[in-house]
Amino acid sequence: MTTLNRTHDAARRSWVASANGHADFPLQNLPLGVFTPATGTKRDGTKRGGIAVGDLILDIPACRHHGLLGGNAETAAEAMSGGTLNALLALGAGPRTALRQAVFDLLAEDAPAAIKDLAPEILHEARASEIHLPVAIGGYTDFFAGIQHAINAGRLFRPDGEPLMPNYKYVPVAYHGRASSVRPSGWPVRRPNGQRKRGKEDAPTYGACRNLDYELEMGIWVGAGNALGEPVPISRAGEHIAGFCLLNDWSARDIQGWEAQPLGPFLAKNFHTSVSPWVVTAEALAPFRIPQSPRDECDPAPLPHLNDADDQAQGAFDIEVEALLLTAAMREAGAAPHRLSIGNTRHLYWTPAQMLAHHTSNGCDLNAGDLFGSGTISAPEDTGWGSLLEISRAGRQPISLPSGESRTFLQDGDEIILRARCTRDGMASIGFGECRGTILPAPTC
């Protein structure tokens, strides 16, 4: 597991003024991404790797141009100088950690004056830049590790039976999603068409989704991959996880209810997935590792390929996650978004390492830049439920909004905003940036 070092020192400040006390991107975070500087800036016009610091983006190719990096940090910088971060993630933790430490020193308050003089050459305004999807995603797998969400959904659909399927506490359940429809925050979400059938209807009809929902999840970025036929042991699985983001697994509930049997999610899930565009590295999250939440006494112990003492001791994360809704009417009135829920990743039943170890346990090969979804993060309390399916009790209990509106599921013009923050006494708080998506009408059938 990653140990703490000078890059986690909360007392250190940056000469980039906006980084000091920044809600998401202080000096102690330094997340990785891909951006294009605004037209008219120096060295503009192409995608390149960058690191967010305060309200600015550090241009990694520009740092190389000025000879500011060396050794393993230069190796990492070269790997992220193109249009994706895949090559960097494939290098594993060593070069990535070296780059983090080198950039920390470049941006720290006590950096040499000569570096600060280069600010116009190596820093760009984030709001004036185009922020891209950080990797070329080869594979996307969405897990179901939010046990409270699984219980809530099970109670809604099987009120007279057991809410969890018999395999849930033995295996990290997942489905394979569609990598081609993953988009960065801010990309509009087109309401999908599909087959849907209400219980009272004799036959399905084809048309716009009636019950469009969000799911509040964390995204997990795979670093170094594994060869086909060579499982990653649980004791090494954490080494293959490069970083994290926010993820919204948009869900067409009415389409899902009709099509999901017997093979699971298909068109109800593959039309769009939103992610926050900055990769918050495993190294940045080191201060916020926590033990995996203890299982109930009657729960089975993880099977050997999922059971590692170190992972159980520090393989989970203390990340507060929040979902907010901004309707078209609220936006027009200049109102603030309404909080739908606030929860924490500590409620996930499986650790990221367990997800990765199980994914490869049959010999499946993962590649750098593959993406996992954690599954919907819901707290035991209803104030922390991570989807409208749960909050509205499958549409039976409308939510009243401060604007006087109500919702069971999402309407056209609604915007979902996901946020996440890590806090700990004695440590600088860090965040993930927002993951936003606004619903557009379905295309004409």
CATH number at residue 406: 3.90.850.10
Of 132, 165, 185, which residue is a domain's last?
Answer: 132
pLDDT of residue 40 exceeding 70, the answer is no
Structure tokens at 24: 């998401």
Q: Express each pLDDT in 106-145 by its tens digit.
A: 999 999 999 999 999 999 999 999 999 999 999 999 999 9
Ramachandran region of residue 186, left (φ > 0), alpha (ψ -120 to 50) or beta? left
Indicate if 11 and 74 belong to the same structural domain.
Answer: yes
Measured CA to CA, the distance from residue 26 to residue 29 in angstroms comes to: 6
Name the residue with tokens 């980084």.
Answer: 19
Between β-strands 189-190 and 435-440, what pairing exists: parallel, antiparallel or unpaired? parallel
Structure tokens at 439: 């619903």
Indicate if 94 and 236 belong to the same structural domain.
Answer: no
Alpha carbon 104 to its chain centroid, in Å, reads 23
Indicate if 59 and 183 belong to the same structural domain.
Answer: no
- In contact, 248 and 384? CB cutoff 8 Å: no
Q: Is residue 79 part of a domain?
A: yes
Indicate if 178 and 268 belong to the same structural domain.
Answer: yes
Q: Express each pLDDT in 363-407 by its tens digit.
A: 999 999 999 999 999 999 999 999 999 999 999 999 999 999 999
- Residue 403: the pLDDT is 96
Indicate if 366 and 396 belong to the same structural domain.
Answer: yes
Indicate if 234 and 88 belong to the same structural domain.
Answer: no
Number of structural domains the chain divides into: 2
Q: What angle do CA 225, 231, 234 make, to 5 degrees?
A: 90
| One-letter amino acid of 233 | P
Q: Is residue 84 part of a domain?
A: yes
Indicate if 247 and 318 belong to the same structural domain.
Answer: yes
Q: Express each pLDDT in 135-182 by its tens digit.
A: 999 999 999 999 999 999 999 989 888 999 999 999 999 999 999 999
- Active site members: 149
Measured CA to CA, the distance from residue 70 to residue 371 in angstroms comes to: 30
- Residue 251: the pLDDT is 98
First to last CA, the chain: 51
Indicate if 127 and 144 belong to the same structural domain.
Answer: no
Q: Express each pLDDT in 301-347 by its tens digit.
A: 999 999 999 999 999 999 999 999 999 999 999 999 999 999 999 99
Q: Is residue 258 part of a domain?
A: yes
Helices (H), 127-278: 147-157, 234-237, 253-259
Q: Compute CA distances 302 → 44, 154, 172, 294, 350, whole Å.
A: 51, 22, 10, 12, 10
332-336: Cβ within 8 A, 24+ apart: 333/403, 335/402, 335/403
Indicate if 171 and 203 belong to the same structural domain.
Answer: yes
Q: Compute CA distances 110 → 15, 53, 165, 440, 441, whole Å.
A: 8, 16, 56, 48, 52
Of 108, 132, 156, which residue is a domain's last?
Answer: 132
Q: Is residue 445 part of a domain?
A: no
Structure tokens at 92: 């594993």
Q: Is residue 1 part of a domain?
A: no
The radius of gyration of the chain from alpha carbons, rounded to an integer in Å, stands at: 22
- In contact, 168 and 300? CB cutoff 8 Å: no
Of 109, 132, 155, which residue is a domain's last?
Answer: 132
- Residue 375: the pLDDT is 98
Name the residue with tokens 């926050």.
Answer: 276
Q: Who's near 329: CB < 8 A, 6+ residues apart?
A: 403, 405
pTM, entire model: 0.96
Indicate if 38 and 183 belong to the same structural domain.
Answer: no
Indicate if 243 and 301 belong to the same structural domain.
Answer: yes
- Residue 8: the pLDDT is 98
Indicate if 288 and 346 belong to the same structural domain.
Answer: yes
CATH number at residue 32: 2.30.30.230
Q: Express each pLDDT in 281-303 by its tens digit.
A: 999 999 999 999 999 999 999 99
pLDDT of residue 445 exceeding 80, the answer is no
- In contact, 237 and 434? CB cutoff 8 Å: no
Structural domain containing residue 90? 6-132
pLDDT of residue 2 exceeding 70, the answer is no
* Averaged pLDDT of the chain: 96
Structure tokens at 321: 């996650």
Q: Is residue 177 part of a domain?
A: yes
